[in-house]
Amino acid sequence: MKTIEFTAWFEQRFFQNIHAKKLISKNQHILLAVSGGVDSMVMLRLFRRFASELKLQLAIAHVNHGLRGKSAQDDAAFVKAMARLYGMPFYETRVHAKQLARRNKLSVEEACRVLRYDFLENTASTYGFDHVATAHHADDQAETVLMRIIKGTGIQGLSGIPEVRGKYIRPLLPFTRDEIHRYARENRIPFVTDLTNEDTAFLRNRIRHQILPDLRTINPQISHHLSRLADIAKSAADVLQMDAKRCYTKVFRTQKGKIWLEIQAFNRYYPIRQYTLLQMFFASHAPWFTLTSVEYERILDLIQHQQPGRKFDAGKWRWTKTTRAVVITPVDASSRTKDVTLTIGNTVSWGSWKIRSSVARYTDTIRKNLAKNPFIVYLDAGSVTKPIRVRAWKNGDRFKPYGMHQFKNVSDFFVDHKIPVTEKHTIPVLTHGRDIVWIGGMRTDDRYKVTPDTLTVIKLELITHES
């Protein structure tokens, strides 16, 4: 296929896909997640190509995960320059993935994902975007499916990356990496290269650079076939989820702060429904946890074969066998840190953290750094009239997350950000009277935000004791 023909085919297919799947509508505001890599730069080009026809308002968001020093700064500068060149609004942040990973016992890759989606969600909510577009493609889908097969998975895991999830859309999923690279090459699209993507010490990179290339020697269409498998698995998983919802409350019940799995009711169902029921439990109570086939078999063995009194930990939950049920409780959920009072201008210790506070005049320098570091925040000093208390999360806590106009339960906020149940009490919650002003390291309350009328700010810093 000649260059002109290929470009026309590629662009027509992109347009037809977003139309057929109803990914976007005319007159919508779209936030594009752009790393500066070839995939996201191609996505940027395609949205600009059809922005006028679809009357779209576009903006760019970029996240520096704080892992690659100057090269990451160079990537951010490149994307910012592209936004300026195209006259598009640009939103960026620098986060500290290693700190979050250490605090919540996540892999660095998982921590990057949590922080990235938190920033994208916050930006979309604050500025009223209808969708957030990411540049995942067919090879990403194939890698995800293969990685889950290697680790052990079920139907839900085989469904891979969804094309639509809430506000998030993935319009490049029908395209392979080679097709995207060819489009970039033939249209001279500039991009940057992240060298960490070449490190085969990471499983995904090993799949990308070694396993998939070997599979392509057997079948060049392997990425498309794995993507098709993901589509079929998603359809099957949706049916199984609908079926399992009807019998979930017959198997699981909550009583006195504990969750009970009724053994007789559970054993009444076929294995595929049993697996889906357990998946639903973890999706609700431990969304960060992946139920592999190994974990499933161990839980099933406890339920069906082990003697009463035997225990098993999975997803930070302890499963204890009794005669007629399995009692499920959080592991070490009782460990708490005492409340402390933070006097402005001083530093206090709470758990594994130090919280430092100071007062400063609101300046342009502070304004430019308001959202750059989730561990350093600024409050409008005029809105703080009482001592600030530092404590753990409590049942019933609510706050108004920065950028949002409605209250949200802190427990739901933790679930959205994949905070393990047993880690919730380790996150400092800073309060002002009955109000929450800051979920330490995560989000401030919108009622205490700095505004153009602010004259003085309170600076709060969250520091690990190792720092």
Question: Helix/strand/coil (H, E, C) string of 45-111?
Answer: HHHHHHHHHHCCEEEEEEEECCCCHHHHHHHHHHHHHHHHHHCCCEEEEECCHHHHHHHHCCCHHHH
pLDDT bin (cut points 50, 70, 90) of residue 110 is: confident
User: Which pLDDT score, from 0 to 100, does residue 102 have?
Assistant: 73
Q: In the predicted model, what is the mean pLDDT of residues 19-39?
A: 95
CA 88, CA 398: separation in Å to the nearest integer? 35
pLDDT bin (cut points 50, 70, 90) of residue 326 is: very high
CA 230, CA 236: separation in Å to the nearest integer? 10
Percent of the chain at pLDDT > 70 equals: 94
pLDDT bin (cut points 50, 70, 90) of residue 467 is: very low
Q: Where are the domains of the chain?
A: 3-135+170-218, 238-330, 340-464
Which of 5-19, 278-292, 340-354, 379-393 ranks highest by mean pLDDT?
A: 5-19
User: Which pLDDT score, from 0 to 100, does residue 334 have?
Assistant: 41
pLDDT bin (cut points 50, 70, 90) of residue 141 is: very high
Whether the pLDDT of residue 437 is over 80: the answer is: yes
What residues does 318 pair with on adjacent strands? 313, 329
Q: CB of 59 within 8 A of CB of 88?
A: yes
The residues near 236 (Cβ < 8 Å, ≥ 6 apart) are 155
Output 242 or 333, whichever has higher pLDDT: 242
Select from 426, 420, 457 the least CA-distant residue to 441: 426
CA dist 405 to 168, 408, 416, 445, Å? Answer: 21, 10, 17, 10
Which of 56-60, 100-104, 208-212 ranks highest by mean pLDDT?
A: 56-60
Output 141 or 292, whichever has higher pLDDT: 141
Whether the pLDDT of residue 85 is over 80: the answer is: yes
User: Which pLDDT score, from 0 to 100, does residue 113 have?
Assistant: 81
Whether the pLDDT of residue 92 is over 60: the answer is: yes
CA 369, CA 15: separation in Å to the nearest integer? 38
Q: In the predicted model, what is the mean pLDDT of residues 146-151?
A: 87
Whether the pLDDT of residue 238 is over 90: the answer is: no
How confident is the model over 165-187, as pLDDT tens digits?
Answer: 889 999 999 999 999 999 999 99
> What architecture does CATH give domain 238-330?
2-Layer Sandwich (3.30)
User: Which pLDDT score, from 0 to 100, does residue 332 have?
Assistant: 54
pLDDT bin (cut points 50, 70, 90) of residue 79 is: very high
Percent of the chain at pLDDT > 90 equals: 49
User: Which pLDDT score, from 0 to 100, does residue 104 have?
Assistant: 63
- Per the prediction, the chain carries an average pLDDT of 87
Rounded to 5°, angle at Cα 43 from 84 and 186: 95
pLDDT bin (cut points 50, 70, 90) of residue 426 is: confident
Amino acid at 180: I
Backbone angles phi, psi at 29, to 5 degrees: -100, 120
User: Which pLDDT score, from 0 to 100, does residue 248 have?
Assistant: 94
CATH code for 3-135+170-218?
A: 3.40.50.620
307: which DSSP letter?
A: P
pLDDT bin (cut points 50, 70, 90) of residue 324 is: very high
Whether the pLDDT of residue 81 is over 90: the answer is: yes
Worst-scoring range by mean pLDDT, 73-87, 161-175, 194-208? 194-208
CA 143, CA 106: separation in Å to the nearest integer? 20
End-to-end CA, the chain: 57
Q: CB of 352 within 8 A of CB of 464?
A: yes
Give the predicted TM-score (pTM) of the model: 0.62
How confident is the model over 366-416, as pLDDT tens digits?
Answer: 888 776 778 899 999 999 988 899 998 887 899 999 878 789 989 888 888
User: Which pLDDT score, from 0 to 100, does residue 227 have?
Assistant: 84
Q: CB of 424 within 8 A of CB of 332?
A: no
CATH code for 340-464?
A: 3.50.40.10
Backbone angles phi, psi at 62, to 5 degrees: -140, 140
Whether the pLDDT of residue 337 is over 90: the answer is: no
Q: Is the dihedral of CA 262, 263, 267, 268 positive or negative?
A: negative
Which of 48-52, 275-279, 348-352 ranks highest by mean pLDDT?
A: 48-52
pLDDT bin (cut points 50, 70, 90) of residue 421 is: low
User: Which pLDDT score, from 0 to 100, does residue 103 have?
Assistant: 66
Whether the pLDDT of residue 340 is over 70: the answer is: yes
CA 1, CA 316: separation in Å to the nearest integer? 53
Q: In the predicted model, what is the mean pLDDT of residues 142-165?
A: 86
pLDDT bin (cut points 50, 70, 90) of residue 335 is: very low
Secondary structure (3-state) at 276: helix
The residues near 433 (Cβ < 8 Å, ≥ 6 apart) are 386
Q: Do domains 3-135+170-218 and 238-330 have the same CATH topology?
A: no
